[in-house]
Chain A
């Protein structure tokens, strides 16, 4: 059974204080690992897909990395508008469905 565990559950940062969110996973053959951002009262918004260990992707202040057991979402010099819940999901080879973690709720204070 595929499993995704995200940590921490919640994170409070000061504006400009860089940090990382963790996504640990077990899957029977990884096809892809996905990161989403979710704002309160809205649907998840796609950020990145990572396919193989060593791969990195960047978007503004966010950088996602992947190893064989976990992925990190690095947030550099965050701003209050980066406050949201960040979700991680995995897709196994041969399957269409995604398995989601329960998310990390990030709050960035000015």
Chain B
């Protein structure tokens, strides 16, 4: 299993540009989520999905869109990038059921800089 994969690893955008961060998992996990990590602030939840076709907002959703058309993929879209979105983005997934099914497994991250 490749686990959770993310592309790209690094990205530089200009203010106002759009882009999509890709996330895929091959563990047949129902639950997938996107976090951003900023110095001193820990991981903050952006959006999450409990299955194909179902998404919901997390703690910091503004400026981001998501969709989930398949179990495997959960892309994160930045419609109009702003410097405040400079951060490291992590995708995570979990089985989402059973006693030990809520442990989230993380991808390697995408480091995004908006100038």
Contacts and interface: CB of A to CB of B under 8 A. Distances in A.
29 contacts: A31-B102, A32-B102, A34-B104, A36-B106, A42-B108, A42-B109, A43-B4, A43-B90, A43-B107, A43-B108, A44-B43, A46-B103, A49-B100, A49-B103, A51-B99, A87-B42, A87-B43, A89-B43, A96-B33, A96-B48, A96-B50, A96-B102, A97-B33, A97-B48, A98-B43, A98-B45, A102-B41, A102-B42, A103-B42
Nearest to B44: A100
Nearest to A97: B45
B96 A44 contact: no
Given A31-B102, A32-B102, A43-B107, 5 more contacts: A41-B109, A43-B90, A43-B108, A96-B31, A102-B40
Interface in B39-58: 40-45, 48, 50, 58
Given A43-B108, A46-B105, A100 B43 contact: yes
Interface residues of B, number: 27
A100 B41 CA distance: 9
Interface of A: 4, 31-32, 34, 36, 41-46, 49, 51, 87, 89, 91, 96-98, 100-103
Contacts of A36: 106
Nearest to B104: A98
B91 to A, nearest CB: 8
Interface of B: 4, 31, 33, 35, 40-45, 48, 50, 58, 90, 92, 94, 96, 99-100, 102-109
Contacts of A103: 42
A102 to B, nearest CB: 4
A99 B114 CA distance: 26
Nearest to B43: A100
A57 B31 CA distance: 25
A60 B62 CA distance: 41
